[in-house]
Structure 1
Amino acid sequence: MDLRRVDLNLLVAFDLLITEGSVSRAAARMSVGQPAMSAILGRLRKLFGDPLFIREGRGLVATPLTESLAEPVRDLLTHAEAVLSQGSQFDPATANRTFSVIANDYVTMTFLHPLLARLTSEAPGIRLHIFPTGDDFADQLRRNLVDLLIVPREAMEVHADFPHHVLYRDRYLVAVDEDHPDVGDTITAEQFSTLPYLATSSGHLRSLAEMQLDFLGVPRNVEITTAFGVAPFLLKGTRLITLIHERLADQVRETAGLKVMEPPIPRLQPITEIMLWTKRTDGDKAHQWLRQRLLDLAQELDDH
C-alpha cells in the first residue's frame, strides 16, 4: 500500500472508535460532527475491506479483523507521538497545559494540594483537573480519558499492565474524639471491636481498611459507613472510633479535634500509593515533567 495516498488520521479515528465503541462519542473526542465521523468510518471500511464495526443495540461491536488490528494501531500511534514529541521543548514557566488526574479525596488533600499551591508560582499555565476515583478508574486510564491515575497499588490488580511508579506509603492509625470518654492514649483490641465503629467506603466499594479488617477477622461494632475523606470530621462529640491514614491525621487532627494512636492490630498493612499512565503519554515531555514533579514532592514529604 502506498502510504502517500493514505490519510493517517484515519488510524486516530480507528483507535477512538475501538476505545469508545460509539460513533457519537468518538466524534466528540475528535471534535467533529457525527455525520463526519460516520463518513470517516466509511473510509476506514473501504481502506481495510472489512465492516470493522457491526451495530448492536446502541453500540458498535468490533469484527475479528478490528480486534486483531487494535493493538498494532495503538502501538503505531504511540510511537508516532513519541517521535513527534522528541523535538518539542517544554518550559513549565511558560507552558499552557491541562492535565486530568483521577485521585480520591485523601490523595487530593494530603498530596495534590501542596502541588497545586506550588504550581501557582512555578508553572502558572499548568492546570490540574482532578476527578474522583469511580468504580471504572482502570478503564478510564486504559481508554486514555485521563492523563494520570493515583491509586493504592493494593486496589489496582492490573497495575502491571500500565507504566507506573510508587509515590509513597502510608500507615493506618486509630482516630477518636480528643475528649473520648473511654479511650486514653492507647486502645485495646477489645475496645476496638466493641466501641461504636465508623466504617469507610470508596465510592460503592468498601475501603482497603475495611477489606483488610475483614480478611484479618477483626470484629467491629459498625454504626455508620461513610467516605473515608469525611470520616475524621464525624468523630467530634461522639464515642465513634475509625481508622485513618497517618498523613490525613497529621493534616486534620487539630481542625477535627482528634486523638490518634496505634491500632491494636499487628498485621494491619500500610497502603502504597502509585501513579499510573499509558504508553501513549510515556514520552511526552510535559507529562514527564509532571510525573517527575510528583516524585520529587513525594520524596520531599517523606523526608519531612
Structure 2
Amino acid sequence: MQDLRGVDLNLLVDLDALLNTRSVTEAARRLNLSQSAMSGSLARLRRLFDDPLMVKSGRGLTLTSRAEALIPSVQEALISIGTVFDNEKDTFVPSTATRYFSISASDYATAVVLGPLIRTLSAEAPNVTINVLPRTADVHTFVRLDRADLIIEPRETMGPTSLPSNPLFTDRWLCMLDGEMHDPSVIDDFDLDYYLTLPHMVYSIGNERQLNLADRHLASLGIERRVELTIESFLMAPLLIRGTSLACLVLERSTAMQRMDGLKLVEPPIPVPDIHEEIYWNPRHTNDPGHRWLRARVAATAAALEPVSRTDGDDL
C-alpha cells in the first residue's frame, strides 16, 4: 500500500473532476481553478499513476482504460472522506459563495423552472454560475459519471432507480395546431380519424432520436402517424407549426410562456399519461451544503409555479 503521507489528497478532487468532465478546461471551471493549475494537477496525477490518464482523440480527450477503471473507486473515496469530515454544518452562504453548478435539462424544463430560478439567483447568489447542459439519452450513466450536479427528467423516463430524487411538478399533453389551417368544425370535434390524416411533428432526444413520452405512448398502442418533422426543442413548436397543417403533442406549461396567437390547443384524441418532472443527482452530493441549497431552490421554484389555466380549443 502506498504511503499516503507523500500524496496530496487534493489531487483526488482534481482527478474526480478530470475523470467526469474529460476536459482540463471544464474540470478547472468546475473547481474554480485556473486551467494552468488543473494542467499541473494532471501532470502530477500522470506521474503518480504512471499512466497518461487522458489522451487526445480528435478535438477532445478520452480516458485511458486505467482512468476508466478508477472512476468508481475515486467516487467512493470522496464519499468516504466527505463523511469523515462532515459535521452537518451548513457552510454555504449564497450571497458570498462562488460556485459553479451544472444542470441537465430539456429546453422545456429550462424555461419552466430554471428561468424563474435564475431570475431570483442573480440577486440571492450573484457569484453562483448555472451551466445548463442538454439532455442525454443515457441518463443513468450521465449521473453515475457525475457529468452534472442535477438532472431534471420525467420520472417516467427514469424507470426504477436507486438515485436520490425530489419531485418538482406535473404537466399534461395537448395537441397543438394552427387554427387557420383547419376547418373550425374538425377542431371543435377533434377525433382520431382526422388526427391520423395530419402530418406530424415530434420531439426527440439526441442522435438516437429517442422519442418523448407522449410519442412513445402512441407507438406502444400501435398508432401510426405520418411524421414530417422531428425536432429537439419543445419551444420551437409554435414557430414551426404556424402556417402549416402540422400537429404536435406539446406540454401545456411550455405553451403558457409563448406567443400563441392563431394557434389551437386541443385534447389529444387518445389519452396520454401526464409527466412528472423530478430532480436526480449522484448520492455523493446529498450532504454537500451547496448542493442542498441548490436542490432546495429548484424545488421551491417549482412549488411556486402558477397552475396552467388555458381552456382546450380556445384561440391562443
TM-score bracket for the superposition, by shorter chain length: 0.7 to 0.9
Contact 2:168 2:299 in 1 (8 A): yes
Contact 2:178 2:243 in 1 (8 A): yes
Contact 2:95 2:124 in 1 (8 A): yes
Contact 2:171 2:252 in 1 (8 A): yes
Specify the alignment match of 1:230 in structure 2. 236
How far is 1:160 from its partner? 1.6
Contact 2:166 2:280 in 1 (8 A): yes
How far is 1:294 from its partner? 1.3
SS at match of 2:187: coil
Match of 2:274 among 258, 270, 273: 270
Q: What one-letter code is carried by the residue in structure 2 that aligns with 1:185?
A: D
How far is 1:147 from its partner? 1.3
Assess, with a 3 A threshold, how the Cα gap between structure 1 residues 297 and 224 changes in structure 2: closer, same or farther: same
CA distance in 2 between counterparts of 1:53 and 1:121 reads: 40
Counting only pairs closer than 5 Å after superposition, residues 107-126 of structure 1 correspond to structure 2 as: 107-126=109-128
Specify the alignment match of 2:164 in structure 1. 163
Contact 1:149 1:276 in 2 (8 A): yes
Specify the alignment match of 1:284 in structure 2. 288
Counting only pairs closer than 5 Å after superposition, residues 1-304 of structure 1 correspond to structure 2 as: 3-12=4-13, 15=16, 19=20, 25=23, 29=27, 31=35, 32=37, 37-44=42-49, 59-62=63-66, 67=69, 71-82=72-83, 83=85, 86-87=88-89, 89-135=91-137, 137-157=139-159, 160-182=161-183, 183-204=186-207, 205=209, 206-227=211-232, 228-252=234-258, 254-255=259-260, 257-266=262-271, 268-301=272-305
CA distance in 1 between counterparts of 2:202 and 2:285 reads: 37
Residues 84-116 of structure 1: CA distance to partner in whole angstroms, max 9, x if unpaired?
574452232333323111111111112211111
How far is 1:193 from its partner? 0.9
How much identity, in percent, do the aligned residues show?
34
Q: What one-letter code is carried by the residue in structure 2 that aligns with 1:144?
A: D
Contact 1:153 1:274 in 2 (8 A): yes
Specify the alignment match of 1:48 in structure 2. none
Contact 1:18 1:62 in 2 (8 A): no
SS at match of 1:286: helix
Contact 1:54 1:61 in 2 (8 A): no
Give the count of matched residue pairs. Answer: 290
More off after superposition, 77-86 vs 222-231: 77-86
Assess, with a 3 A threshold, how the Cα gap between structure 1 residues 100 and 175 changes in structure 2: closer, same or farther: same
CA distance in 2 between counterparts of 1:224 and 1:54 reads: 39
SS at match of 1:150: strand
More off after superposition, 106-115 vs 79-88: 79-88
More off after superposition, 31-40 vs 168-177: 31-40
CA distance in 2 between counterparts of 1:53 and 1:93 reads: 37
Q: What one-letter code is carried by the residue in structure 2 that aligns with 1:234?
A: L
Residues 242-300 of structure 1: CA distance to partner in whole angstroms, max 9, x if unpaired?
11101112222x4353211111113x212221111112221111211111111122222
Contact 1:186 1:261 in 2 (8 A): no
